[in-house]
Amino acid sequence: MTRLTSVQSEFIESVLRLKPLIATFDCDGTLWSGDAGEGFFSWELEQSLVSKEIAQWARSRYADYKAGQVAEDVMCGEMVTMHSGLQEEVVQQAADTYIAQGIASNIFPEMRELVHRLRQSGCDVWAVSSSNQWIIRSGMCSFGIPQNRILSAEVAVENGTITDRLIRIPSGPGKSEAIRSVLKAAPDCAFGNAIWDREMLAMSNHPFAINPNPNLKEIALTNGWTVYQPEANHQGR
């Protein structure tokens, strides 16, 4: 168990003092350093989890996305639908392996402790991410967040086989839309690190910009949102 510093502990206590009943957390860059969705995407192509044809298309498509020719939510959706026809059990096992190897050591210890303390207090804690459903399910095992409290980029699964029918893509406005679809009230606290979390943060009573990208940090400072930088006492990737 990692011993927390006084700064980390004070951050946790500052959130708990708000006594939130509902809290929503982005995952990549907020609960851990790095982008698990993007990392898994590259890793699974190298591992030949999908066919050569799909891998070739995916690499080309991702290059277009990085060049600004494919919208963020479109790419997030396609990074899920590209698994159509595969057995979900196989993809979930691959995601479990990747999380253990590439993300587990990058978890921000104070964020893990915060989530556990919030859940212990009776707070309804949700993970809201544009990364695929399998990687987020695996990642949330370290936080104790159950599957029925995950809103991720998700497709329908029939008889164990992944389809290409999108259920949701929680990115940008899609995050607040996904939250409104399952919650009657706005979150008391929300935590995010990127511009794609802006709408989720703005709808909450207490927005927290965690490890924020420069564009989100500027928005946070302008709006008086709390900005917190997790301490670098974990192993980097």
Residue 135 sits in a domain whose CATH number is 3.40.50.1000
Question: Between 220 and 235, where is the model more confident?
Answer: 220
Q: What pLDDT is attached to residue 194?
A: 96
Q: What pLDDT is attached to residue 237?
A: 30
Q: What pLDDT is attached to residue 236?
A: 35
Distance of CA 215 to the CA centre of its chain: 18
Q: What pLDDT is attached to residue 1?
A: 57
Average pLDDT of the residues of the chain: 95
- What per-residue string of b and e applies to 199-234 under the rule 16 or more CB within 10 Å gives b? bbbebbebbbbbbbbeebbebbeeeebbebebeeeb
Average pLDDT over every residue of 81-91:
98
Q: Place 231 in a pLDDT band, splitting at 50, 70 and 90.
A: confident
Domain membership of residue 182 as a residue range: 6-228
Report if residue 1 sits inside a domain: no
CB 212 within 8 Å of CB 46: no
Tell me: the pLDDT tens digits for 91-116? Answer: 999 999 999 999 999 999 999 999 99
Classify residue 229 by its DSSP letter.
Answer: -
Q: What pLDDT is attached to residue 232?
A: 60
Domain total of the chain? 1
Tell me: the pLDDT tens digits for 214-230? Answer: 999 999 999 999 999 99
90: left (phi over 0), alpha (psi -120 to 50) or beta: alpha
Helix or strand or coil: residue 55?
A: helix
What token pair was written down for 8?
Answer: 């980390």
Say if residue 186's pLDDT is above 80: yes
Report if residue 235 sits inside a domain: no
- In 3D space, the residue among 230, 205, 228, 232 whose CA is nearest the CA of residue 216 turns out to be 228
Say if residue 2's pLDDT is above 50: yes
Report if residue 234 sits inside a domain: no
Model confidence, pTM: 0.94
Q: How far apart are CA 126 and CA 175, in angstroms?
A: 11
Distances (CA, A) of 229 to 11, 30, 31: 10, 10, 11
Terminal-to-terminal C-alpha distance of the chain: 20
